Chains A and B, each alone.
Chain A
Amino acid sequence: MASATILKSAFLPKRSEWAAATRSSVGRPATAMSLTVRAGSYSDELVKTAKTVASPGRGILAMDESNATCGKRLASIGLENTEANRQAYRTLLVSVPGLGQYISGAILFEETLYQSTTEGKKIVDVLVSQNIVPGIKVDKGLVPLAGSNDESWCQGLDGLASRCASYYQQGARFAKWRTVISIPNGPSALAVKEAAWGLARYAAIAQDNGLVPIVEPEILLDGEHGIDRTFEVALKVWAEVFFYLAENNVLFEGILLKPSMVTPGAESKEKATPEQVAEYTLKLLHRRIPPAVPGIMFLSGGQSEVEATQNLNAMNQSTNPWHISFSYARALQNTCLKTWGGRPENVKAAQEVLLARAAANSLAQLGKYTGEGESAESKKGMYVKNYSY
């Protein structure tokens, strides 16, 4: 029998028994997702939302640039960083007719979640009417990690629960939290552990408040390392991420991932073809991602629009155990932004460009992209050394 010297806390928790007890006493209806040992109230909805975002031929439009970063975008076309300009630009994006055919979700910045279009319609409502699930960036940005080798960690856990609850009320149904790993800086075991643990804690809190968490540990492109080194680091990062997600009892059927593709560093002498990027990246996924995860939405991280599409296409040449798709910001917006240039008379053309880019990535998700008709602008790389987002 249990020796008196063993602390009760040393046993694996019997959540299923607490959950069963709570269920019966509160009279909560049995969820269809009865295989959830954490009796979260949102489980069914989380699973449904994740599946919707991870639907065939569709991906995510990331437009959650902070005001400062959005300012850089506007500056690049000669516009001032005013709320009106940000509103005008975001209105352009969400109002693209037919966007929902290729875009299943849009990540917003907090300001945008509460904004209306220039015509006075709530942006979340416009998105929903387009059949696009609204999402929200919930982290509070990167700051230096003490005790590391000049690495960063991601803030945002304070008040996260109530923030998520408010965002849910406003109409958001998924969240995003971006932390980074730097290969030139090690990465140190400390930085990787902090990144992974932070993501796991955030994911649990988001789910608890009705938002599907997008889990994003971005392994930065910066560096001279070859693709094998990226692969090695990615294997370690994702092993730790999943272990902590499990420890935090996150429901895997209700999350999405936003990894970086496995490529050589931006300053490496090696260049990798889309087929090589696909081979390494798929190998990583096969080794680290349980099939319960419904969708893997890649970030573009500085690749050109066309590169990002080609690489995604290469990964979808045969069936995968998870939906493999995109969650692109720059790789969807770049040409669109340049086409708009801040001028009302260019809005329609800019919207057409965005739709074309979304359609190209939709084809890539289905493995059917051919690359015909791509412009020079869309082939321009967007890597910026030491890019701060």
Chain B
Amino acid sequence: MASVKLNAPSSHWIGGGRSLNRRFAFRTEIPRAVTIRAGSYTEELLQTAKSIASPGRGILAIDESNATCGKRLASIGLDNTEANRQAYRQLLLTTSGLGEYISGAILFEETLYQSTIDGTKFVDCLRGENIVPGIKVDKGLVPLPGSNNESWCQGFDGLASRCAEYYKQGARFAKWRTVVSIPCGPSALAVKEAAWGLARYAAIAQDNGLVPIVEPEILLDGDHAIERTLEVAENVWAEVFFYLAQNNVVFEGILLKPSMVTPGAEHKEKASPETIAKYTLTMLKRRVPPAVPGIMFLSGGQSEVEATLNLNAMNQSPNPWHVSFSYARALQNTVLKTWKGQPENVETAQKALLIRAKANSMAQLGRYSAEGENDEAKKGMFQKGYTY
């Protein structure tokens, strides 16, 4: 028994004085030799993460809050009622064959508990298609005092029990979106808060059986050059990973949802997909350990076609992690415009969704070609000061 001579308080030791308490602690056998935190869900988390990060597949993000969903419905002349939200989500989630291209779907809380018109739970629809149900668990952005008009993401209070409930309902992954603004600095404070918040959320999610998607969105707003985005992204991800490690998050059981490294939306030069791929892959190689199974990019205002082209460019050679998509607007835009709220358009709208999902599936495999893409799909969706 090693006798450790101490001349400093035990709280200063790495590992919290475990070596001191060896006599008293009942060492439970950790079955998997390389799992340090013997969480009960570890095996399942790894399986879920791998399943979502499967070749040729990505995530359909449909976790718009009721308010944001209202904006989508308004854009096609519909009222923001529960019935309309249900009808829209039903259209998406009952698309036959969707599971060939979509491995996970992020839901808003209301949707997690909703069913189709004829009473089939949405989570069951998803399971039937081999699509893992996921759930947004954050409580939105609010102003960060002491910062330069920046935001922070709420959601810790009751997060553990919320996650446990969602798990019972069938969710197997979670999502938490915080933002970083380059025009506002970003301040060291905002970055630290964003990173620390993500790490705490991730640990709590894993503890309750949900694979955390880690999403620090570096907003497109601004006139900065791509080099500046790279610099900020490197800073943000360095801090995120350091805090994830400090919180003992199991890296094999998380997914990332970064923004691609692009120039700001108001920058004079646009970057080609090849340039975006080069900068983004450089950032990933410098910051993301290979234990992370999947990196599912957000589209953040890019047009449907841009988002697909950029993803395709990133998959022209093998990567140490699955590089894929988790798109909301870039998968839904044309679908929404095709549906227009009319039942007779549902089938065509669902076909449009499959077209978009398949295009991104091909992009994940690095085999996408933009032939036959229509104009709607090429329309940019950036909105200055966009609140999600």
Contact = CB atoms under 8 A, between A and B. Distances in A.
A302 B148 CA distance: 53
A188 B231 contact: no
From A12, A236, A243, A291, name the one whose CB has the most chain B CB atoms within 10 angstroms.
A12
A225 B14 contact: no
A150 B4 CA distance: 10
Query: Interface extent on B, as a size class?
Result: 35 or more
Contact of A229 (B19, B232, B282): B19
B19 A225 contact: yes
Contacts of A224: 1-2
A271 to B, nearest CB: 14
A10 B147 CA distance: 9
Contacts of A292: 282, 285-286
B228 A14 contact: yes
A11 B2 contact: no
Nearest to B13: A186
Given A10-B187, A37-B231, A185 B14 contact: no
Given A149-B4, A283-B34, A11 B185 contact: yes
Interface stretch (B56-64, B235-243, B301-309, B336-344): B235-243
A352 to B, nearest CB: 39
Given A11-B186, A12-B191, A147-B8, A35 B279 contact: yes
A17 B285 contact: no
B12 A190 contact: yes
Interface in B1-16: 1-2, 4-8, 12-15
A28 B181 CA distance: 31
Contact of A231 (B13, B14, B34): B34
A239 interface: yes
Interface in A114-131: none
Contacts of A239: 241-242, 245-246
Interface in A218-250: 223-225, 228-229, 231-233, 235-236, 239-240, 242-243, 246-247
Contact of B14 (A14, A188, A280): A188
B155 to A, nearest CB: 24
Interface in B215-251: 225, 227-228, 230-232, 234-235, 238-239, 241-242, 245-246, 251
B83 interface: no
Contacts of A148: 8
A385 interface: no
B238 A246 contact: yes
A37 B230 contact: yes
Interface in A287-331: 287-292, 321
Interface string B287-320: 1111100000000000000000000000000001
A2 interface: yes
Contacts of A35: 230, 278-279, 282
B188 interface: yes
B230 A2 contact: no
B160 interface: no
Interface string A181-206: 00011111110100000000000000
B25 interface: no
Contacts of B188: 10-12
B4 A14 contact: no
B191 A233 contact: no
Contacts of A1: 149
A236 B234 CA distance: 20
A12 B185 contact: yes
A59 to B, nearest CB: 21
A294 to B, nearest CB: 10
Contacts of B12: 186, 188-190
A3 interface: yes
Contacts of A369: none
A243 B287 contact: no
B4 A187 contact: no
A186 B252 CA distance: 27
A246 B149 CA distance: 26
Contacts of A289: 289-290
A348 interface: no
B15 A6 contact: no
A11 B187 contact: yes
A166 interface: no
B213 to A, nearest CB: 18
Contacts of A187: 13-14
B14 A290 contact: no
B76 interface: no
Contact of A235 (B13, B36, B186): B36
B238 A242 contact: yes
A143 interface: no
A207 to B, nearest CB: 14
B125 interface: no
B238 A247 contact: yes
A169 interface: no
A226 to B, nearest CB: 10
A184 B20 CA distance: 11
A150 B186 contact: no
Contacts of A377: none
A349 interface: no
Nearest to B227: A16
A189 B187 contact: no
Contact of B234 (A185, A231, A246, A291): A246
Given A20-B227, A253-B286, 8 more contacts: A12-B188, A35-B282, A189-B12, A236-B15, A236-B245, A239-B241, A290-B288, A290-B289
12 contacts: A16-B227, A149-B6, A149-B7, A186-B14, A188-B12, A190-B12, A192-B14, A225-B19, A236-B245, A239-B242, A283-B291, A286-B291
Q: Which 6 A-B pairs have the closest CB atoms?
A: A246-B238, A239-B245, A243-B242, A16-B227, A292-B285, A286-B291
